[in-house]
Amino acid sequence: MDVRETSETGQKPHGCCTPSAGDRPCTCDLSANPVPRIEASAETLARMVRLPGGRFLMGTDSEEGFPQDGEGPVRAVTVRPFSIDRTNVTNRLFRQFVEATGYRTDAERFGWSFVFWLHIPKARFDELVEDTVRSAPWWCKVRGAWWSAPEGPGSNLLRRDDYPVVHVSWNDAVAYAQWSGQRLPTEAEWEYAARGGLEQKIYPWGDKLRPKGKHMCNIWQGDFPNHDTGDDGYAGTCPVEAFPPNGYGLYSMTGNTWEWCADWFSADFHRTASCDNPTGPPSGTSRVTRGGSFLCHKSYCNRYRVAARSSNTPDSSTSNTGFRCAL
């Protein structure tokens, strides 16, 4: 078996969320993949928003939350002033990084990544799909799938320059950030940013999923996992600025792709940890992901809320996980 049946937290994979690669040798040693470190350029800084930081109420105790994920309890957390990218890192930006450094992503080095089944051409399904996750068969192990060939051999990024880069592992995200002179946001910074100045709202824009019937983020509509009606305009990822920004001017903090955070994941570490600029547990086996993706649906996982949490191993990559950087 090539892929894990359970996540690092011992739960079943979230299904519409992200499966873990179970057979990849550890690549946590980033020195195996050195990238030059530079100061963040004026261009990079221009893509970021400076936030004042301060105290905010993190997490949720609401009935919609998943207590087993460690979404609660609600606690007053303080973050320092920081900057964060307005959008996910795009294919265009990631290409600049790869061209400048020759960096090879974990998916390229291992030779495969996870692709959602409806995005694989039916006629080529048997040829391309090497394995599926038993408890979540819509996740397909596709040899030759990586950031520049998101649906496997024969696919490309044509007209997707402004889409979020996907099939990037936590290691890949950190390598990019080292090159751009940035870093990944801590989980607390991510949630502070996602809330956009609102207090204890479910979504980055408020409590109503579709105010006045309007789609505010890219998630699943229809019968998961068989039919995505694409009622929000997209049945996969969408351009990073396709939906309106939140109160801080940040795009797609929920939906579109999961976003890597710097922290190790724990369902309960924060219950006893300091709330002053928290950076997560000192060690762990999987890294935090936040925000949900185009695959999230209320009937299945409902993790496109600002308080929702998930995680994956640092060398895992999927077609619905990307990142944005902080500084």
Residues that bind Cu ion (CB under 5 A): 16-17, 296, 301, 303
Tokens for 175, please give them. Answer: 């390598």
Nearer to Cu ion, 148 or 310 (CB): 310
By C-alpha distance, which of 209, 298, 217 is closest to 250?
217
Determine the straight-line distance between the first and last CA of the chain, rounded to whole angstroms: 39
Nearer to Cu ion, 110 or 304 (CB): 304
Say whether the peptide bond before residue 225 is cis (omega within 30 degrees of 0).
Answer: yes
Burial (CB < 10 A; 0-12, 13-18, 19+), residue 28, is exposed
| Shortest separation between residue 288's beta carbon and Cu ion, angstroms | 14
| Shortest separation between residue 26's beta carbon and Cu ion, angstroms | 26
Write the single-letter amino acid at 127. Answer: E
d(CA 219, CA 271): 30
| Shortest separation between residue 157's beta carbon and Cu ion, angstroms | 24
Nearer to Cu ion, 177 or 301 (CB): 301
Contact 193, 184 (CB under 8 A): no
Kindly report the number of other CB atoms within 10 A of residue 143's CB atom: 15
Nearer to Cu ion, 3 or 296 (CB): 296
| Shortest separation between residue 255's beta carbon and Cu ion, angstroms | 10
Nearer to Cu ion, 180 or 302 (CB): 302
| Shortest separation between residue 310's beta carbon and Cu ion, angstroms | 7
